[in-house]
Homo-oligomer: A and B are copies of this chain.
Amino acid sequence: MENIKNFFYPKSICVVGASTKEKSIGYELLRTISNYGYKGIIYPVNPKADSVLGYKCYKSIEVIDGQIDLGIIVVPKQFAEESVDSLLAKNVKSIVLITAGFKEVGKEGEEVENRITKKVKDAGARLVGPNCMGVINTLESTKLNATFVAEKPETGGTGFLSQSGALGAAVLNSLRETDIKFAHFISVGNKADINENDLLHFWQSDDNIKTITTYLESFIDGENFVKPIITGEVTKPVIVLKAGKTSSGMKAASSHTGALSSRDQVVEAVLRQFGILRVNDINELFNTAKGFENFPFPKGNRVAIITNAGGPAILAVDSLEKENLILAEFSEETKNELKEVVNPEGSVMNPVDLLPGATAEVYRKVNEIVVQDPNVDSVISIFVQPVMVDPFEVVEAVYDINTDKPIMQIDMPLPEFWDDYRKFSKKKLPIFRNPEEPAEVISNMLYYSMAQEGLKDHREEYAEQFKMTGKGKFNFKPGFIPQEEIFSITSYYNIPIITQTLIKPDEIKNLNDDIYPVVLKGINHEVIHKSELDAVKLNIKTKEELIARADEIISNFNRFKFDVEQFLIQPYIEIKHEVLLGGFRDPSFGPIIMFGTGGKYVEVICDTAIRSAYMSDNDLDEIIEETVIGKILKGIRGEEGIDMNKLKRVIRSSSKMMIENENIIEFDLNPLIISKDNSIHAVDVRIKVG
């Protein structure tokens, strides 16, 4: 951890490749470090220069006399490895390799990258990059902007990790317009060593960080990204913008379950399951981070809207619905108090309409009245600038209110306002620009706090399951496992596979009387299309009928010169619903379970939900209820539901099978039949081992 700390809090840094040439990265980086006012010692290294930007220049790393906390390399790629060597020789334990041209350009680059990474690891050091944009710490004690974007970021409480240097640069370029504030920024590039999982732990341990934000194009190890969040090692809000979606299923998958899901759905489902916020764009990423840092948490989903203008309020109301929030219903007391303040031609109902003339004082009073209503969990206060009211006064008056509920303001002023606000505002709390934004933020905050509660309640359940990982006793050969083994594993895990009895034709008479109704199938290993030979008889109700039907099958076979070698007897089940239950192993997030509508139309019906196989009881309820078939099975419109506990037990035991037997890469129960008497039967089970 100490070595990671030095990326953000170095007392001395060495810039290998510092340059005197303007617009070169080696020059710009040093200039940025210098301009932003770094508080430690800078050692520029350049064999050909005596000084750069007024700093004394060192000919080589060796000649530096002093401790180097952080080495930053910006040399051309052919010199990168030797620079790493020299830093390691100098006992530097934290290295940022900004230089590009490694794994991302091909095989040769990959080899060099691997060599460098090995050397770093062997030396007990840590490496950021290569192919990255550097690191920033905005905190007063360090003030390090070791990137080549010459902005001077303001201090906030967010940690921001970007897998793309360019996206990081784009965000940095926009800071003065977006008012994004962070404590730490790190561009991790190729993630040869340091990756998002390291940063989760480090930022959790750093008291300067309140919120963890990431832009990711891939997860280095999804299972270990979510695990510390499940176990409670990481409790700070984690917000993920994950790019690189693709709708193409896992083409190679041979099961329904695999083919029906995409890698992106897995990401979506697993992050959601464990309370990690996945956002859709950069704007939502930082709006949400601003929410976490600057406002108290909402305790519920009831929102009050205050406005001086109809249209934007209607758009805000629309956004509530989209975000699963509701318009609060004010108490009579609140309405009466509002009547004292609000223009009689306005409205004291929610949304409260103050009309364009409303002053800063009216805004303050109305917000104060509304926020203390016990039926209100959050307030959105909207102000569109009319000629006669100063937006700055309104915004300051409302953000001056002390409350333990979030009040978020939307301001639609003339452009002059923003500079004034940045300069003169007392609290400088975030102001939103679009009527749709606060609902998104409130909803994200609410989701996070509810998910945290859920995780706390179920932590032991998850822990139990983690313990069982790989503890399974079944060892199968790769490929689809044969029928006998399916019987043995499904019976071990209590998966209700339908019983099948294979008997010789002359044993028919010896069958018990309590097996009816049954299905009878004639088998000859040469006969594949049973229906052509009329070899399947359904719903046989008595022994007499069974014998008669068996004779029919035998004579059918004989007519085509076949013998009946064996009869297969199964209970006859009248289908009421067909369910799909399956699982597969995601290369990053591990065992995944899918539940939904089964049968032959699965591809078009697309009624499935997925979760990590590590499931709490609550996750089991949710995976079922997220689907249409789940709602139907629970019972709707007066129709009796099935025993949901039985269904949950089947899902639970299938998950257990996936967790315990890590060699199972896919399984598929399609259909899992719900019969007319509401019992559950697996009729077609496929399990693939890798």
Interface flag for A135 (CB, 8 Å)? no
Contact with B along A576-619 (1 / 0, CB 8 A): 00000000000000000000000011011110000000000000
CB of A169 within 8 A of CB of B309, answer yes
With beta carbons under 8 angstroms apart, the residue of B215, B321, B387 that contacts A247 is B321
Interface flag for A434 (CB, 8 Å)? yes
Please indicate the chain B residues that have their CB under 8 angstroms from the CB of A436 in the complex: 281
Please indicate the chain B residues that have their CB under 8 angstroms from the CB of A151 in the complex: 414
Report A234-257 residues with CB < 8 Å from chain B CB. Answer: 243-247
Contact with B along A217-239 (1 / 0, CB 8 A): 10000000000000000000000
Interface flag for A518 (CB, 8 Å)? no
CB of B632 within 8 A of CB of A318, answer no
With beta carbons under 8 angstroms apart, the residue of B162, B309, B388 that contacts A167 is B309
Inter-chain CA distance A620–B243, complex, in Å, is: 37
Contact with B along A639-658 (1 / 0, CB 8 A): 10000000000000000000
Please indicate the chain B residues that have their CB under 8 angstroms from the CB of A150 in the complex: 387
Contact with B along A169-203 (1 / 0, CB 8 A): 11001101100000000000000000000000000
Copies per complex of this chain: 2
What interface size band does chain A fall in? 35 or more
With beta carbons under 8 angstroms apart, the residue of B100, B312, B355, B628 that contacts A605 is B628
CB of A318 within 8 A of CB of B387, answer no
Contacts known (A28-B387, A387-B25); A636 close to B604, Cβ less than 8 A = yes
Inter-chain CA distance A73–B436, complex, in Å, is: 34
For A162, A308, A415, the residue with the greatest tally of chain B CB atoms inside 10 Å of its CB is A415
Interface flag for A571 (CB, 8 Å)? no
Interface flag for A570 (CB, 8 Å)? no
Interface flag for A105 (CB, 8 Å)? yes
Q: Which residue of B lies closest to A162 (CB)?
A: B311
CB of A384 within 8 A of CB of B170, answer yes
- Residue pairs across A and B with Cβ atoms less than 8 A apart, 15 shown, are A23-B387, A28-B388, A150-B387, A164-B314, A165-B311, A166-B311, A166-B312, A167-B315, A243-B315, A245-B318, A282-B315, A282-B434, A601-B628, A604-B628, A606-B628
Minimum C-beta distance from A178 to chain B (A): 10
Inter-chain CA distance A405–B243, complex, in Å, is: 28
CB of A148 within 8 A of CB of B28, answer no
Please indicate the chain B residues that have their CB under 8 angstroms from the CB of A345 in the complex: 100-101, 105
Please indicate the chain B residues that have their CB under 8 angstroms from the CB of A168 in the complex: 311
Interface flag for A491 (CB, 8 Å)? no
CB of B245 within 8 A of CB of A311, answer no
Interface flag for A459 (CB, 8 Å)? no
Minimum C-beta distance from A387 to chain B (A): 4
